[in-house]
Amino acid sequence: MAAVTDRSKLSTVLWPVLAWTIALIFFFPIFWLVFTSFKTDADAVKPEMLFSFTPTLENYTNMTQNYDYWRFATNSVITSTFATLFALFVGVPAAYAMAFNPSRHTKDILMWMLSTKMLPAAAVLYPMTFLTKNFLGIFDTHFLVILVLCLINLPIVIWMLFTYFKEIPKEIIEASKMDGVTTWGEIKDILIPLAWGGVASTALLCFIFCWNEAYWTVRLTTVDAATLSKLIEGNRAPEGLFFGRLSAVSTAAVMPIVILGWFCQKQLVQGLTFGAVK
Amino acid sequence: MSDRSIPRLLQTPAVILLLIWMIVPLSMTLYFSFIRYVLNNLRRPEWTTPSPSNWRGFGNYEYVLNAKDFWFAIQNSVFIVSSILILTVILGLGIAVLVNRSFPGRGIVRVLLISPFFVMPAVNAVLWINMILDPVLGLQGIAVDGMNSLVAGLRDFPVLGAFFSLWPEIEPISFRATQTSAYAVIMMVTWQWTPFAVLIFMTSLQSEDESQKEAATLDGASPWSQFINLTVPHLARPIAIVVMIQSIFHLSLYAEIEIVSRGNGNKNLPYLIGEFASNNIGAASATGIFAVILANIIAIFLLRMVGKSLMD
C-alpha cells in the first residue's frame, strides 16, 4: 500500500512539473522574441548582455516612425476580417447544402475542394501577377488580397463547417421546413445559433490563417494593400544584423494574433475538431 | 423545382469560385509548360512573350526530368513532410495526454503550449534561424561558447583538470548547409504545428470513455497498456485528420525554406518551381504540373484514409 501512495505522490508532483517544463520550452522562442525586442541592435548580439541590459523602446519608436507599422497593421486587419466574412458568407450555405442535402458526390466535392489547397502557388505566381496587373488592374488592391485570402481558406472553412453542421439532427431542419421557414431563415435562425461554437472556431481559424499568409500577400502587393507579412519580408536582414529591430517588427506583427488566440483558447480547445470527435 | 434542389444550389457559388481559382491558373500553367517562355533572353527575344509559335512539346518536361535538382526536390519534400508528420503526431499525443489530467495552472500551460500555432510562418523562420540556431550570434552559438569556456576554466583545477583536458571543444552546428537546413525547417515547423496536433487530440481525449479506463485499472492494466490499447485506437480518427490537414499545408511549404535556405541547395518542390520561375516560366510550369500530379497522388491516399469515415 505504501508503495502505491508513494507512486501516486510522485506522479502528482512529477506530472505538473513535466507539463510546465514542456509548456515553457514551447513558449520560450516567443518569449525570447519579445525579450530581444527591448534590446538595441548592438546589445542583442553581445553574449554578456544576454540577460543584463538596459531595456529600450527605441526599436518600437523606430518602427512606427520609419516603417509605417500602422498602415501595414490596418491592412492586415481589414483584409483578414473581410476575407473571413466573405469565406463564411460563401461557406455557410455550401456547408449547409452538403450537410443536409448530401448527394453521392458530396464527399468527392469536399475532397476536391481540399485538393485545390495543394496546388503549387509558385507555379501560378507568374500568370497570376500578369493577369491581375495587366488584364484586371487589381494588383496591390485590398480587393485582390481579400479575394485571394478568401479563396485559399474557403476549402478549410467549408470542411470545418460541414463537420459541425453534420452533427445537428436532421429532424430539426426538417421540422422547420414543415413550418414553412425559408432556407435563409433556416440558416439564420436555426443552423447558426445551433452551431454557433463551430462557426466561431471556424471564423477564428480562418482569421489566423489570413493574418499569417505570406506567399500571396507578399507577392501580389507593393504598397497600398501591403500587410504585416510584407513588413516582415522587408525587414529580413542578413544574419546577425539588426536582431533588435527584427524582433520588434516581428513582435508587433505576431502579438495581436497570439493575444487573440489566448482569449479564444477555450473556444479553440472545444471547437477545433475537424470532425475528429464523434 | 423540387424541395431539395434549392438547398443544393447553395453550394454552387463556392464550387464555381474554387473552380475558377483552380482552372484559370492551371490552364495557363498547362499552356506555358508546352511552350518556350523565358523572361530574359537577349539572343531569342521572341521567347519572352508567350505564343503558340514557340511550341516546345514535351521539351520542358524533359528538361525538368533531367535537371539534377528535380528528384532531389521531390525526395526532400517527402522527407521534410513525413518527418514533420511523425514528430508532430508523437509529440502531440504525449503532450495531449499530459495536459489532459488536471493539475495546478493547467489553463496557463495550455495557453503557453498552443501559442506557437499563432505565429506567422515567416516570423517563425526568421526567429529560429537567426536568434536561436545561428552558430555564432544565436542562442545555440552562445550556449556552445559558454560550455567551451566553462570546460576551459575547469581544466585549471588540480584533479578535475586532467579529466576535462580530455574533453573536446564542442563545435556549434551550422544550420545553413543543405542537409542541416532541412533539419532546421523540420524543427521550426514541428514547433509550430505540434500545438495544432495537441489541440485536436486534447478535444478527442475529453470524449474518451472514462469508465472503460477505470475498468481497465481495476483489472490491473498498466497505464502504458491502457494508452496503447484504449487511447490510441480512440484517437485513430483525430490522427488521420491531423495527418491530412498538415499534409495539405506542408506540401506547399515555402516561406520557411526560402528564409532558411537562401540558395544553399536545400529545396522542396514549390521552392524549385520558384527558382525556375525567376526566369524560365516554361520549366517552372512543367514542374508545377508534376507537383499537381504528386499532390493528386497524395490526395488519393488521404481520401482513402479519411474519406471513408467522413460521411457517417
Residue A266, pLDDT score: 81
Query: Look-up: residue for cell 460541414?
Result: A162
Q: How close does chain A come to B165, measured CA to CA in Å?
A: 25
B26 touches chain A (CB under 8 A): yes
With beta carbons less than 8 A apart as the criterion, state whether A229 and B120 touch: yes
Average pLDDT of the segment spanning A11-28: 91
Q: What part of A 71-100 touches B (C-beta under 8 Å)?
A: 90-91, 93-94, 96-98, 100
Closest residue, chain A, to B190 (C-alpha): A26
Contact B24 A30 (CB under 8 A): no
Considering A24-33, A175-184, B270-279, the range whose residues carry the highest mean pLDDT is A24-33
pLDDT surpassing 60 at residue A191: yes
Say which residue, A46 or A164, is predicted with more confidence.
A164
Residue A73, pLDDT score: 95
Closest partner residue to A124 (CB to CB) among B28, B203, B248 is B28
Percentage of chain A beyond pLDDT 70 is 94
Residue B5, pLDDT score: 64
Fold of the A70-271 domain: MetI-like fold (1.10.3720)
Report pLDDT digits (tens) over A105-139: 888 888 888 888 877 788 778 778 888 888 888 99
- Report chain B residues whose CB lies below 8 A from the CB of A20: 105, 109
B121 touches chain A (CB under 8 A): yes
Closest residue, chain B, to A186 (C-alpha): B7
- HSE at residue B88, side-chain half, CA atoms within 13 A, is 36
CA distance B78 to B84: 10
**Confidence class for position A150, pLDDT limits 50, 70, 90:** very high
Closest residue, chain A, to B100 (C-alpha): A19
The yes/no answer on whether domain B68-119+186-310 falls in CATH 3.10.310.30 is: no
Query: Look-up: residue for cell 497570439?
Result: A258
- Report chain A residues whose CB lies below 8 A from the CB of B4: 101
- Report chain B residues whose CB lies below 8 A from the CB of A212: 118-121
Closest residue, chain B, to A27 (C-alpha): B112
Question: pTM score, two decimals?
Answer: 0.91
Q: What's at A261, amino acid-wise?
A: G
Q: With a cut of 70, list the residues of chain B below it in pLDDT.
A: 1-6, 307-312
Report pLDDT digits (tens) over A204-261: 999 999 999 989 999 999 889 999 999 888 887 655 568 888 899 999 999 999 999 9
Domain regions of chain B by residue span: 68-119+186-310
- Report chain B residues whose CB lies below 8 A from the CB of A123: 25, 29, 273, 277, 284-285, 287-289, 291-292
What string of DSSP letters covers A51-115?
S------HHHHHHHHHS-HHHHHHHHHHHHHHHHHHHHHHHHHHHHHHHHS--TTHHHHHHHHHH
What string of DSSP letters covers A161-204?
HHHHHTTS-HHHHHHHHHTT--HHHIIIIIIHHHTHHHHHHHHH
Report CA-CA distances (Å) from A56 to A38, A52, A235, B176, B230: 5, 12, 19, 31, 53
With beta carbons less than 8 A apart as the criterion, state whether B160 and B154 touch: yes
Closest partner residue to B287 (CB to CB) among A110, A119, A123 is A123
**Interface with chain A: mutation pick from B1, B2, B6, B18, highest number of A CBs within 10 Å:** B18
CA distance B30 to B35: 9
Rg (CA), chain B: 26
C-alpha cell at B112: 503557453
Say how many CB pairs under 8 Å bridge A and B: 284
What is the ipTM, given to two decimal places?
A: 0.90
- Report the SS3 class of residue A272: coil
Q: How close does chain B come to A268, measured CA to CA in Å?
A: 7
Handedness of CA A82, A84, A85, A91 (dihedral sign): positive
Which of A138, A154, A141 has the alpha carbon at shortest distance from A86?
A154
A256 touches chain B (CB under 8 A): no
Closest residue, chain B, to A116 (C-alpha): B22
With beta carbons less than 8 A apart as the criterion, state whether A119 and B42 touch: no
Which of A234, A204, A203 has the alpha carbon at shortest distance from A217?
A234
